């Protein structure tokens, strides 16, 4: 059984999301009750399910199998998209990309052999590149590097620490030079094949983003403006499903962490951030004190989740709840099992 403080926190979070969503939606809920379930109730179903998985399964094995399963589904979805002759990205590309990246980081940490870590990171990078998920690809690469840098900084020899620091300096210099080159002109890789086409598409989109001419970026800017207007109008309570009333579309919300504030209100937003930061801190303590690989995996997976939601994802995605459920449940299990 979870400890009483955890249960009380979940109950309080549940109330801060569900009741304002019911009362503060200006009638939209009556037309779209399924969205009330998927956006306000389903997160707590996920929290309970993930808690049961962490407490009752060998969670490391579960993460490995989940990673493999999501890779297989991603490959099948990709080839089905090719067979259908669709030149664009497969459906649910953001959900698939985030889950593969999240699980990839976790499996990277719990893998003991260096070759396994290399295979996991390369396969994940290739999947994200083929799926044309620019933000997921960049943040995954950043988190993996920070993961390696931190691990070697705290556990490696002086020589390894120096090499890692030198590599970081080179990476920063290369990144600045690369971004400047892409911003000034479209960079194209010569070659044939879907992977080369995918990489060139990512490079073209990066050029468009840096020059503020990307269609998706401009559409998100309009959504952000409307969401900001709601925040200014109702900073305490927000307005659940305001995007349907404003745009007639359940996907036209703010594409960053402020979407939680706009939809659920200030209290729920503060509680969610509090839960995330607290869970990350507890797993950091377990990882740093006991070198627990699973705690490290959940810590850096949480860092990926936090960065992706700060810049690009919204309350409609379930990754935050999966990640939160796993980190909170594991730190609770570690503590109640008497290891801390």
Report the share of the chain in percent with pLDDT over 70.
74
Instruction: Report whether pLDDT(282) > 50.
Output: yes
Segment 129-153 mean pLDDT: 84
Lowest mean pLDDT among 61-75, 143-157, 283-297: 143-157
Rounded to whole angstroms, the Cα distance separating 112 from 122 reads: 16
| Residue 275 CA to its chain's centroid (Å) | 16
Find out whether 59 and 298 touch, Cβ atoms under 8 Å: no
CB neighbour list of residue 62: distance below 8 Å, 6 or more residues apart = 53
User: Smallest Cα–Cα separation from 42: which of 52, 34, 32, 30?
Assistant: 34
Tens-place pLDDT, residues 46-59: 999 999 999 999 99
The per-residue pLDDT for 230 is 81
The interaxial angle of helices 114-130 and 194-210, nearest 10 deg, is 70
Which range has highest mean pLDDT (208-222, 241-255, 266-280)? 266-280
Tens-place pLDDT, residues 207-247: 665 555 555 555 566 667 777 888 888 888 888 888 887 77
Which range has highest mean pLDDT (164-173, 194-203, 239-248, 274-283)? 274-283
The per-residue pLDDT for 340 is 45
Domain boundaries, the chain: 4-155+214-336
Rounded to whole angstroms, the Cα distance separating 198 from 128 reads: 10
Residues in the chain: 340
Find out whether 313 and 122 touch, Cβ atoms under 8 Å: no
What tokens appear for 292 in the block? 């627990």
Kindly state the DSSP code that residue 255 receives in the 8-state scheme: S
């Amino acid at each position: 059984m979870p400890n009483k403080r955890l249960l009380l926190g979940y109950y309080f979070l549940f109330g801060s999301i569900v009741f304002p969503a019911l009362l503060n939606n200006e009638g939209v809920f009556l037309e779209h009750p399924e969205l009330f379930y998927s956006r306000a109730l389903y997160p707590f179903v996920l929290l309970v399910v993930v808690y049961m998985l962490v407490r009752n399964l060998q969670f490391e094995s579960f993460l490995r199998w989940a990673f493999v399963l999501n890779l297989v589904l991603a490959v099948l979805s990709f080839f089905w998209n090719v067979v259908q002759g669709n030149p664009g990205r497969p459906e649910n590309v953001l959900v698939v990309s985030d889950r593969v990246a999240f699980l990839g980081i976790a499996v990277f940490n719990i893998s003991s052999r260096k070759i396994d870590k290399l295979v996991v990171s390369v396969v994940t990078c290739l999947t994200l590149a083929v799926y044309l998920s620019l933000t997921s690809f960049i943040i995954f690469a950043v988190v993996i590097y920070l993961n390696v840098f931190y691990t070697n900084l705290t556990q490696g020899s002086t020589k390894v620490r120096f090499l890692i620091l030198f590599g970081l300096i080179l990476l920063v210099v290369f990144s600045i030079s690369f971004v400047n080159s892409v911003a000034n002109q479209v960079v194209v890789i010569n070659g044939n094949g879907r992977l080369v086409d995918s990489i060139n598409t990512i490079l073209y989109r990066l050029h468009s983003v840096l020059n503020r001419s990307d269609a998706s970026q401009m559409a998100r800017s309009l959504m952000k403006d409307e969401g900001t207007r709601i925040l200014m109008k109702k900073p305490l309570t927000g307005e659940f499903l305001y995007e349907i009333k404003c745009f007639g579309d359940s996907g036209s919300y703010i594409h960053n962490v402020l979407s939680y504030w706009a939809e659920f209100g200030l209290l729920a937003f503060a509680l969610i951030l509090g839960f995330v930061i607290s869970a990350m801190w507890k797993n950091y303590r377990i990882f740093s004190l006991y070198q627990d690989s699973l705690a490290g995996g959940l810590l850096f997976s949480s860092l990926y989740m936090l960065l992706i939601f700060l810049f690009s994802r919204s309350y409609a995605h379930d990754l935050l709840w999966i990640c939160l459920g796993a980190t909170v449940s594991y730190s609770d299990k570690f503590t109640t099992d008497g290891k801390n």
